[in-house]
Amino acid sequence: MNIHTPARSRSKHIRPNQKKAYIQRKKVAAPRKVNRRRRASSRRSGVAELPGWHALNKQQRSVGASKQGTRQPSKTMAILGLIVGICVLLTLYVGHVLATEATLEELRAERARNVRLNLKYNRLKGAFDRRTGPAVIYRRGAALGLEQTPHYGPTIIVK
């Protein structure tokens, strides 16, 4: 078994004389030596170990794929939904303001009509009271020959 293998190159090309050593190295990989002090200190301080380059590369690829595939349309749809929602709210607000102004105009017109009717009622009631008041009744009774007495008689009921 060959323990010492040549340094790894970035390319996947393996020379024929190195093929056997490469396969053996892949099958039996030596365990990594980890600095125990660093691992213990990171556990104590609550800081996790930093990821390696390969982990960062994989993570970046997965984030890039998710951004291109799902994130952009969802952001666009969210912004579009927000704009549509704001337009609907503004339309409802403007409609409410216009309906309130129309109702206020109707209320003002009805109040003016109520004031006119009250004035007409007071004018007609005053005219009726002037025609049926005590001064007119006593004068007409005297014209008919009735005498005014200090005592009032019984109530007259007309059937």
Does some domain include residue 117?
Answer: yes
pLDDT higher than 90, residue 93: yes
**Dist CA 3 CA 27 (whole Å):** 12
Neighbouring CB atoms inside 10 A of 24's CB total: 13
The pLDDT value recorded for residue 150 is 72
With respect to residue 78, please indicate whether it lies within any of the assigned structural domains: yes
CA distances from residue 72 to 79, 85, 86, 105, 146 in whole angstroms, order as listed: 11, 20, 21, 50, 106
Specify if 105 maps to a domain: yes
Predicted TM-score (pTM) of the model is 0.41
In the chain, the percentage of residues whose pLDDT exceeds 70 is 60
Does residue 44 sit within a domain? yes
Whole-angstrom distance, CA of residue 5 vs CA of residue 17 = 11
Q: What is the pLDDT of residue 146?
A: 87
In a domain? residue 124: yes
28-69 pLDDT per residue, tens:
555 555 555 555 555 555 666 777 777 777 776 665 555 554
Domain count within the chain: 1
Does any domain span residue 62?
A: yes
In angstroms, the CA 144 to CA 43 distance is 124
Sorted by sequence, the CB contacts under 8 Å of residue 124 that are 6+ apart come out as none
In a domain, 11, yes or no: no
Domain span at residue 59 reads 34-143
Q: Is residue 112 part of a domain?
A: yes
Predicted confidence band at 117 (pLDDT cuts at 50, 70, 90)?
A: very high
